[in-house]
């Protein structure tokens, strides 16, 4: 073979090798508009520049992403990485649509950066189907001017909340407790169960635990807030906080930026404190709260598993989460938080309040994922409405919900049995 042919063969070989190693990932995210621009720029200038892995970002509305993913998965054109709400992850993972991240040797070094109470929402048995991303916990907002004028103390426990609710009601003012997201009632109920050291499911995930003494007592406490202490079931939030008609509100952390942006007229007249807690036997206060979070998953059909894992690790890193939080806040004051325990130290949040954010994240526990749990949650909604709206007995209502939830979980376990056996 002459020299020219050798050179040609060498060039073609190099080209083929280059194409083989040139990987391009497709990522579905809900980050669009200004946040999307920030996200894409960070991926390009930080991740791709350092790894050489190209990333194509597609903006998909988060509300319809689960069905869209299933259809694309079946059709063979699914993305490599997808952003999901935490309550969507395990059902997709069990169906085989998401990769089990536990198979990566360095997964523990990644999960060690996170609050461990976030992971039960993303795992089933030994399988982990996602990593936490952006997170919303729950804490307390109050009007400092109203509290000062009435001589009220900042609440620490649910006993304090009940006492304040009565005092505020005497002045024609309300106290509001709200969880925004799929499963509003469950989101309000879970902290009362968690603060009693219990869960709404049996440890093995095969049945409901709603009929346990702790869960029954927790349900009574929640419904009593509305029946005996007259907390409204609905409240306009923005307007009533600004007008001081509802000067005490228990809400998720993203409302902080909302109050700053929509109610500048009350700047300096409101503050935050931690989620109300329950006193333990030793006198300490259990402040376990809950919330919702966006997560990142690798779709199991990916042909670039290792490259996708590199991007996943970067998305959960202190480097990315810090830059994303800070840049998004500079653009339009969007005070978002991520689950990384280190990056929260650099969050664009008032320095004197940052310790509250750190403690709120450290005490945020997500709902445990069980097969059929997403549907079983509706029975808690039914029980709540029976008590608060129809006046039924709370213990009878929640015990009925326990039976119906167990039936739903066991039906789903039978339906998904062939998938579960592979985990």
For 76-129, what is each residue's pLDDT tens digit? 999 999 999 999 999 999 999 999 999 999 999 999 999 999 999 999 999 999
What number of residues does the chain have?
423
pLDDT tens digits for range 36-61: 999 999 999 999 999 999 999 999 98
pLDDT band at 422 (very low <50, low <70, confident <90, very high): confident
Burial class (CB in 10 A: 0-12, 13-18, 19+), 23: middle
pLDDT at res. 19: 36
Average pLDDT over residues 279-292: 96
pLDDT tens digits for range 355-404: 999 999 999 999 999 999 988 899 999 999 999 999 999 999 999 999 99
User: To 5 degrees, how large is the angle CA 195–CA 199–CA 204?
Assistant: 150
User: To 5 degrees, how large is the angle CA 166–CA 218–CA 138?
Assistant: 70
Does the pLDDT value for residue 337 go beyond 60? yes
User: What is the distance between the alpha carbons of residues 319 and 326, in angstroms, rounded to a whole number?
Assistant: 11
Average pLDDT over residues 193-205: 96
User: What is the distance between the alpha carbons of residues 235 and 246, in angstroms, rounded to a whole number?
Assistant: 8
pLDDT higher at 423 or 92: 92
pLDDT at res. 22: 60
Task: Work out whether the CA dihedral 243, 249, 251, 257 comes out positive or negative.
Answer: positive
pLDDT band at 333 (very low <50, low <70, confident <90, very high): confident
Does the pLDDT value for residue 21 go beyond 70? no
3-state secondary structure at position 148: helix
User: To 5 degrees, how large is the angle CA 215–CA 216–CA 222?
Assistant: 85
Average pLDDT value over all residues in the chain: 92
pLDDT at res. 237: 97
- Block residue for tokens 């349900």: 219
| Tokens matching residue 322 | 């810090």
pLDDT at res. 20: 39
DSSP run (H or E) holding 146: helix 144-150
pLDDT tens digits for range 127-154: 999 999 999 999 999 999 999 999 999 9
Domains of the chain: 23-134+292-361 (3.40.190.10), 138-202+209-290 (3.40.190.10)
């Amino acid at each position: 073979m002459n020299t020219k042919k050798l050179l040609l063969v060498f060039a073609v070989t190099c080209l083929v090798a280059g194409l083989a190693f040139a990987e391009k990932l497709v990522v579905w995210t809900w980050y669009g508009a200004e946040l999307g621009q920030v996200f894409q720029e960070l991926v390009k200038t930080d991740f791709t520049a350092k790894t050489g892995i190209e990333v194509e970002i597609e903006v998909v509305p988060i509300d319809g992403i689960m069905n869209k993913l299933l259809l694309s998965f079946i059709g063979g054109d699914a993305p490599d990485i997808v952003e999901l709400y935490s309550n969507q992850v395990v059902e997709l993972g069990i169906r085989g649509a998401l990769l089990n991240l536990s198979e990566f040797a360095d997964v523990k070094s990644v999960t060690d950066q996170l609050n461990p109470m976030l992971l039960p929402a993303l795992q089933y048995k030994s399988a982990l189907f996602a990593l936490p991303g952006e997170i919303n916990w729950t804490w307390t907002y109050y009007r400092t001017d109203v509290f000062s004028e009435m001589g009220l103390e900042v609440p620490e426990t649910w006993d304090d909340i009940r006492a304040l609710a009565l005092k505020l009601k005497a002045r024609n003012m309300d106290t509001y407790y709200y969880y925004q997201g799929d499963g509003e009632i469950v989101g309000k109920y879970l902290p009362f169960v968690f603060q009693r050291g219990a869960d709404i499911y049996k440890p093995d995930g095969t049945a409901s635990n709603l009929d346990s003494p702790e869960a029954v007592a927790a349900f009574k406490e929640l419904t009593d807030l509305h029946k005996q202490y007259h907390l409204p079931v609905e409240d306009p939030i923005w307007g009533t906080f600004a007008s001081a008609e509802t000067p005490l509100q228990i809400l998720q952390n993203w409302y902080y930026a909302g109050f700053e942006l929509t109610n500048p007229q009350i700047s300096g007249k409101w503050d935050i404190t931690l989620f109300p807690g329950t006193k333990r036997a030793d006198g300490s206060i259990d402040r376990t709260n809950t919330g919702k979070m966006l997560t990142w998953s690798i779709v199991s059909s990916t042909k670039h598993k290792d490259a996708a894992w590199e991007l996943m690790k970067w998305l959960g890193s202190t480097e990315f989460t810090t830059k994303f939080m800070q840049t998004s806040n500079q653009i339009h004051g969007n005070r978002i938080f991520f689950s990384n325990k280190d990056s929260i130290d650099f969050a664009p949040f008032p320095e004197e309040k940052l310790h509250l954010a750190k403690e709120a994240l450290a005490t945020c526990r997500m709902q445990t994922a069980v097969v059929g749990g997403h549907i079983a949650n509706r029975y808690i909604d039914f029980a709540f409405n029976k008590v608060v709206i129809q006046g039924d007995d709370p213990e009878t209502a929640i015990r009925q919900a326990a039976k119906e939830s167990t039936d739903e979980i066991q039906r789903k376990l039978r339906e998904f049995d062939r998938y579960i056996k592979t985990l």
